[in-house]
């Protein structure tokens, strides 16, 4: 079986060919590679911008301790209060502080 191939040129570039009367376009690998590179650069820039603009939380992990005590990771220490009920030994050992409303 014999196939007839007729190339189609646009100036010096081959843009496709007629194979048995059907047009088959040529794939320009340079354009495809450049489009993939630009797309990857845009995606990387948008991801890095999104990460740069993301706010960190005010506190880290909140966990519940024994007796309803809360443990707040990566937060500041509350101000000391005079008086009040005595703290349990395990609260002093764990350096736990009550979560109270400040007025």
Q: CB 23: neighbour CB atoms within 10 A?
A: 11
pLDDT at 66: 78
Identify the pLDDT of residue 14: 86
* Model confidence pLDDT, tens digit, residues 13-54: 888 999 988 998 888 888 899 999 999 999 999 999 888 887
The SS3 assignment for 15 reads strand
More confident residue, 80 or 2: 2
Report the pLDDT value the prediction gives residue 63, as an integer from 0 to 100.
81
Q: What is the pLDDT of residues 53-95, one digit of tens each?
A: 877 666 677 788 777 777 777 666 666 666 666 778 888 888 8
Q: What is the spatial distance between Cα 20 and Cα 2, in angstroms, rounded to a whole number?
A: 9
pTM of the model: 0.40
Q: What is the pLDDT of residue 44?
A: 94
Please give the pLDDT value at position 76: 66
Q: What string of DSSP letters covers 54-74?
A: PPPPSS--EEE-GGG-EEETT
């Amino acid at each position: 079986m014999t196939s007839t191939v007729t190339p189609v040129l646009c100036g010096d570039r081959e843009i496709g060919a007629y194979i048995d009367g059907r047009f088959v376009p040529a794939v320009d690998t340079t354009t495809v590679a450049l489009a993939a590179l630009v797309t990857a650069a845009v995606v990387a820039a948008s991801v890095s911008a999104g990460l740069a603009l993301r706010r960190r939380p005010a506190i880290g992990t909140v966990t519940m301790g024994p007796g309803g005590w809360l443990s707040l990771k990566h937060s500041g220490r509350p101000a000391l209060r005079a008086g009040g009920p005595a703290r349990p030994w395990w609260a002093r050992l764990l350096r736990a502080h009550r979560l109270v409303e400040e007025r």
